[in-house]
Amino acid sequence: MESKIKFSKDDEKKLRDLPVSALVLFGSRVQGLARENSDYDIGVLVSNRAALEDEKKRKNLYNSLYDILSANIAKLTNIDIVFLEKTPAELKAHVIKNGQLIYGDPLAFATFKEREMIAYADFASLREIFQKATLARMA
């Protein structure tokens, strides 16, 4: 697993002041498939869901995180930030399987994993029906 993101004490203080419970690196950088110009995929778990419901608060949070992350990555590259509470089930499943906690509370990440695995299992039969219907239309 490749994680070259290390936060300074000052950045950790900035992160503590934000409604963030965890930052999770996922994608090619964790899977060992990254090239020099590969992007950084960062999943965010928030400690206060209201930060996601209000568009202005969400944009401010995104911009603050982008500033902190880009200063720590310290090279010109794309940084993709996603709020995990608002992502599709397939992406959540990928983060659960391959994600690496780079900041925050390990319990928050573990709780997210548990909650989403239960939800994913609960909807397995519906996903199967949808996939079969989609394939039938394509045939």
Residue 87's CATH number? 3.30.460.10
Residue 3 lies in a domain: no
User: Domain count of the chain?
Assistant: 1
Among 18-27, 59-68, 82-91, 119-128, the minimum mean pLDDT is found in: 119-128
For residue 80, pLDDT beyond 80? yes
Residue 105 lies in a domain: yes
Query: Which H/E stretch holds residue 12?
Result: helix 9-16
For residue 67, pLDDT beyond 90? yes
Residue 1 lies in a domain: no
The proportion of the chain whose per-residue pLDDT surpasses 90, expressed as a percent, equals: 60
Residue 4 lies in a domain: no
For residue 127, pLDDT beyond 70? no
Query: Which H/E stretch holds residue 79?
Result: strand 79-83
Cβ-based neighbour number of residue 84 at 10 Å? 22
Q: pTM for this structure?
A: 0.82
For CA atoms 86, 41, 63, 13, give the dihedral sign: positive
Q: Which domain holds residue 64?
A: 9-138
CB neighbour class for 133 (10 Å; exposed up to 12, middle 13-18, buried from 19): exposed
Residue 14 lies in a domain: yes
Is 61 strand, coil or helix? helix
